[in-house]
Structure 1
Amino acid sequence: MDELTGREAVIQRLRDVGLRVTGPRLEVLTVLASAGHLDVEAITATARERLGTLTSQAVYEMLRHFQETGLVSKFDRPGLPAVFEISGPPHQHALCVRCGRVENVAADAPEPPRRGLSGWSMSEAEIVFKGLCPDCAREAASD
């Protein structure tokens, strides 16, 4: 999918997937397009600053629709709330095990193994690089 930037691009992407353009949908996608890797509470708080009112439940519903239409991807972080990003080219993720920060990584995932998974029908593979982000690494070094 093309990079989602600018208000007009966001409006067009909503129309392309058959979703009605509403203020809240437009704002949630704009927030994600400008920041990426945000949890529902961060998305809600940022969008609420601009809209005045918006509930977390409404954001959850929008994100579900955005995932179903391929506009948004979800990344689960063990022990932390999931984060969402605008869908784009296939990529992997780096996860800070201290603060939960997530960054995209340009790395190819391996092909799923053919042996040892009899009867399985694999659809994709994912690699998550785990470690400390630059901020946490600096903080750990000064401890």
Structure 2
Amino acid sequence: MAREAVASEREAAIQRLRDVGLRVTGPRLEVLQVLAAGGHLDVEALTATARERLGTLTSQAVYDMLRHFLETGLVTKFDRPGWPAVFELSGPPHQHALCTGCGRVENVDHEAPVAPGEGLENWDMIGADIVFKGLCPDCRRA
């Protein structure tokens, strides 16, 4: 990757942290940059990837960072029944596809449904999600 692109990604991560009032630290920057590279990563994958670049980083430190990132809206969490939750940078609204064979998650550009008006009296709805379930191309071939 070009030096300018790396510097630009680093500056974007620094600005994201500052925008939500979090202190800029090396580990926070690295975890944000790993997430910015894309994909849906669980804590162990995030820790391993960031640790390769930093030298030392514990899973507990990543859990703590993710808690702060979730509280400030920097990242979103997707719970996968039977697998560890995965995280991604917050962005435009989207839905997810979940492979029931391996747990792979992909973003799907699809609008969430509108909550029904009947049967939910006195509820204060905050959103809706659709999860498309099936087998990913790799699991279909296997």
Fold match by TM threshold 0.5: yes
Unaligned runs of 5+ in 2: 1-7
Matching residue of 2:110: 107
1:82 partnered with 2:97:
no
1:91 equivalenced with 2:91 (yes/no): no
In the alignment, what sits opposite 1:42?
45
Residues 1:73 and 2:83 aligned together: no
Aligned residue type for 1:110:
P
Which residue pairs with 1:129 in the alignment? 132
Asked whether the 8 Å contact 1:36–1:86 carries over to 2, the reply is no
The C-alpha deviation readout for 1:17-66, integer Å capped at 9, x for no partner, is 11111000000000111133000000000001111111101000000100
- Paired position in structure 2 for 1:119: 122
Partner Cα distance (2:20, 2:114) in 1: 30
- Which of residues 7, 11, 17 in structure 1 aligns to 2:20? 17
Q: How far, CA to CA, are the matches of 2:41 and 2:21 in structure 1?
A: 24
Structure 1 residue 84, shift from structure 2 partner: 0.1
CA drift at 1:118: 2.2
| C-alpha separation in 1, matches of 2:39 and 2:65 | 15
Aligned length: 135
Partner of 1:77, secondary structure, is coil
Paired letter, 1:122: M
* Residues in 2 aligned to 1:123 and 1:112: alpha-carbon distance in whole angstroms: 10
Instruction: Tell me what 1:59 maps to.
Output: 62
State whether residues 74 and 84 of structure 1, in contact with CA within 8 Å, keep that contact through their aligned partners in structure 2: yes
Letter in 1 for 2:53: R
- In 1, Cα distance between the equivalents of 2:136 and 2:56? 33
What percent of counterpart residues are identical? 79
Could you tell me which residue of structure 2 aligns to residue 7 of structure 1? 10
Offset of residue 119 of structure 1: 2.0
- TM-score w.r.t. the length of structure 1 is 0.92
Give the unaligned 5+ runs of structure 1. Answer: none
Q: Offset at 1:6?
A: 1.0
